[in-house]
């Protein structure tokens, strides 16, 4: 397949490789009983009241008191966890039962962190490595413009250089062997990820919309070890496998990115996992992250059915609980439940309730004037409104969650925006909570009886939306 489009999911995934790699027998380290693990330390110039740490599917928080913080959490296997301050994050290598102390200046986070206690030498190395990786990211952007042969040479050279630097370091200052194995995997699968995303990124940066790779470009995937749960501690292995799963789904179904960027892609992934993996650790992790990603992008759409399928194939009951916890805020928003009501004013001050539109299908756009992706959808929404302006069976409502009501009024007036335009006070706090909205735009579809069809409906720019509307109106 020469021309490949795929979507990179921001959460971590794991998948299978070619047949020969799958058939290789790997002795995996089984999950041990959980051990209480501690990360504590000091923060200079704190910028927030608390920190968060992501350990697998679980997130823990710690309030910063007098510059001090402390996390205690259970761990079953060594891992690189994410310490977060706002949108910034640092990575820490942790073994079960470890006691790690870390200190940093919040103004410089995640750089210049210092460690003591367990795994301090490993984390000192890791911090420097990721500092260099951030610098390296700028060179990668330039490399995406290279032609195929030159790009392959550049990525191979970068990988070899990083491997050589690691070997040189451990010759002078030995590090824990398990940690070294994780770093080697990071370097190898960073290279694999860079190779896999090149076609899409080259098309963008080199402005070659119809770019095609050579027939042999994807041969580098042959022989890559992927069905091995011992690699899961490597974040860059997880990133690579996420992209690879999408690649395989598209390749095996002879489709494109848009063909599978919907709720049914999650079922395809679960089927793929079930049929292609021998590693229980990989299978369970991939299934978990498929569900977490599905809820992030699709909300309650088809989620109860996916959870049931996941629990049948996943042996890790901790992951069952993680999925249930993540689904909890979506449970009230499954199709067929009553849609949470609202009442907001239009430009004239007249109040509109959701209940006023009983007897109609209602498509709701939750947006704001400061939201770029929201504004990109407006022309598509206006075209839909034009297409159905004579059909009394459907109504289109736009609800602004702008804190600045004057900004909303000005944009709606200046651009002569059509449809039912409403403004939700208090930055739409009640609406966002009721529909579990953490990012906009979000689109809702309600039936004539006030029941939810989808609390995560397709965007106006998606051809799936008009297809769905037509099916509803013809039913």
Half-sphere exposure of 302 (CA within 13 A, CB side): 16
Q: What is the pLDDT of residue 54?
A: 92
- 457 falls within a domain: yes
Per-residue confidence (pLDDT) for residue 257, from 0 to 100: 54
pLDDT of residue 18: 34
pLDDT at position 361 is 97
Predicted pLDDT at 141: 83
Structural domains of the chain, count: 2
- Arithmetic mean of pLDDT, 180-203: 95
pLDDT digits (tens, 9 = 90+) for 339-386: 999 999 999 999 999 999 999 999 999 999 999 999 999 999 999 999
pLDDT in tens, 88-109: 899 999 999 999 999 999 998 9
Q: Which of 91, 118, 145 is the last residue of a domain?
A: 118
Query: What is the pLDDT, as a whole number, of residue 14?
Result: 32
CATH number of the domain that residue 401 is part of = 3.40.30.10
Cβ burial of 301 (10 Å; 0-12, 13-18, 19+) is buried
pTM, to two decimals: 0.80
Q: What share of the chain in percent tops pLDDT 70?
A: 92
Residue 383 lies in a domain: yes
Q: pLDDT value at position 1?
A: 44
Residue 464, domain member (yes or no): yes
Count of residues making up the chain? 475
What pLDDT does 27 receive?
65
- 290-337 pLDDT, tens digit each: 999 899 889 999 999 999 999 999 988 889 999 999 999 999 999 999
Whether the predicted pLDDT of 144 surpasses 80:
yes
Greatest C-alpha distance within the chain: 77
pLDDT digits (tens, 9 = 90+) for 438-475: 999 999 999 999 999 999 999 999 988 999 999 999 98
Distance, CA of 259 to CA of 5 (rounded, Å) = 10
Q: What distance in Å separates the CA atoms of residue 28 and residue 131, rounded to the nearest whole number?
A: 31
**pLDDT-based confidence at 256, cuts 50/70/90?**
low
Task: Report whether 287 contacts 270 (CB < 8 A).
Answer: yes
Whether residue 11 has pLDDT greater than 60: no
Q: Is residue 27 situated within a structural domain?
A: no
Q: Does 290 fall in a domain? A: no
Contact 250, 20 (CB under 8 A): no
Question: Which whole number is the average pLDDT over 43-54?
Answer: 92
Cβ atoms of 402 and 370 within 8 Å: the answer is yes
From 92, 118, 144, the end of a domain falls on 118
Render 145-211 in DSSP notation, one character per residue. TS-HHHHHHHHHHHHHHHHHHHHHHHHHS---HHHHHHHHHHHHHHHHHHHHHHHHHHHHHTT-TT-
Query: pLDDT of 106-138, one tens digit each?
Result: 998 988 899 999 999 999 999 888 877 777 777
Read off the pLDDT of each residue in 6-17 and give the average, rounded to a whole number. Answer: 34
Domain that holds residue 87: 35-118
| CATH code: domain of residue 98 | 2.60.40
Domain boundary among 118, 148, 176: 118
Q: Has residue 289 been placed in a domain?
A: no
Residue 150 lies in a domain: no
Using an 8 Å Cβ cutoff, are 11 and 292 in contact? yes
**What percentage of the chain carries pLDDT values higher than 90?**
72
Contact status, residue 314 vs residue 284, Cβ threshold 8 Å: yes
pLDDT of residue 159: 94
Using CA atoms, how far apart are residues 167 and 92, in angstroms rounded to an integer?
A: 20
Look at residue 298 and tell me if it is in a domain. no
Position 2 scores a pLDDT of 41
Q: Is the pLDDT at 25 greater than 70, yes or no? A: no
Average pLDDT, the chain: 89
Is pLDDT of 56 > 50? yes
């Amino acid at each position: 397949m020469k021309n490949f489009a795929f979507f990179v999911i921001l959460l971590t995934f794991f998948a299978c490789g070619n047949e020969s790699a799958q058939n290789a027998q790997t002795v995996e380290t089984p999950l041990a009983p959980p051990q209480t693990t501690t990360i504590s330390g000091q923060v200079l110039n704190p910028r927030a009241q608390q920190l968060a740490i992501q350990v697998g599917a679980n997130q823990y928080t710690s309030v910063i008191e007098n510059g001090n913080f402390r996390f205690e959490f259970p761990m079953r296997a060594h891992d690189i966890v994410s310490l977060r301050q706002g949108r910034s994050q640092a990575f820490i290598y942790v073994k079960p039962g470890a006691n790690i102390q870390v200190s940093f200046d919040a103004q410089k986070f995640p750089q210049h962190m210092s460690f003591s206690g367990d795994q301090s030498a490993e984390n000192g190395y890791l911090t420097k490595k990721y500092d260099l990786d951030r610098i390296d990211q700028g060179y990668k952007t330039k490399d995406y413009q290279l032609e195929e042969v030159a790009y392959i040479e550049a990525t191979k050279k970068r990988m070899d250089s990083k491997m050589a630097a690691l070997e040189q370091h451990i010759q002078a200052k030995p590090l824990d062997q398990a940690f070294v194995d994780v770093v080697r995997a990071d370097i190898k699968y960073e290279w694999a990820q860079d190779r896999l995303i090149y076609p899409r990124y080259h098309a963008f940066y080199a402005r070659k919309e119809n770019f095609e790779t050579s027939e042999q470009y994807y041969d580098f995937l042959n022989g890559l070890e992927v069905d091995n749960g011992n690699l899961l501690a490597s974040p860059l292995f997880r990133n690579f496998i996420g992209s690879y799963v999408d690649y395989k789904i598209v390749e095996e179904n002879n489709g494109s990115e848009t063909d599978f960027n919907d709720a049914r892609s999650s079922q395809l992934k679960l089927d793929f996992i079930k049929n292609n993996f021998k590693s229980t650790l990989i299978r369970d992790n991939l299934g978990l992250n498929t569900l977490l990603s599905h809820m992030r992008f699709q909300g309650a759409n088809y989620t109860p059915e996916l959870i049931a399928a996941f629990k049948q194939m996943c042996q890790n009951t901790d992951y069952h609980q993680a999925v249930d916890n993540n689904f909890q805020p979506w449970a009230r928003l499954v199709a067929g439940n009553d849609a949470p009501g609202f009442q907001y004013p239009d430009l004239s001050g007249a109040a509109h309730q959701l209940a006023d539109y009983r007897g109609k299908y209602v498509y709701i756009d939750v947006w704001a004037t400061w939201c770029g992706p929201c504004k990109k959808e407006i022309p598509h929404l206006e075209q839909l409104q034009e297409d159905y302006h004579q059909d009394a069976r459907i109504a289109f409502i736009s609800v602004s969650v702008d804190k600045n009501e004057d900004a909303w009024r000005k944009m709606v007036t200046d651009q002569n925006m059509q449809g039912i335009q409403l403004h939700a006070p208090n930055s739409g706090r009640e609406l966002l909570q009721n529909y579990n909205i953490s990012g906009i735009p979000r689109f809702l579809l309600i039936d004539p009886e006030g029941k939810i069809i989808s609390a995560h409906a397709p965007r106006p720019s998606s051809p799936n939306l008009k297809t769905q509307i037509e099916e509803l109106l013809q039913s």
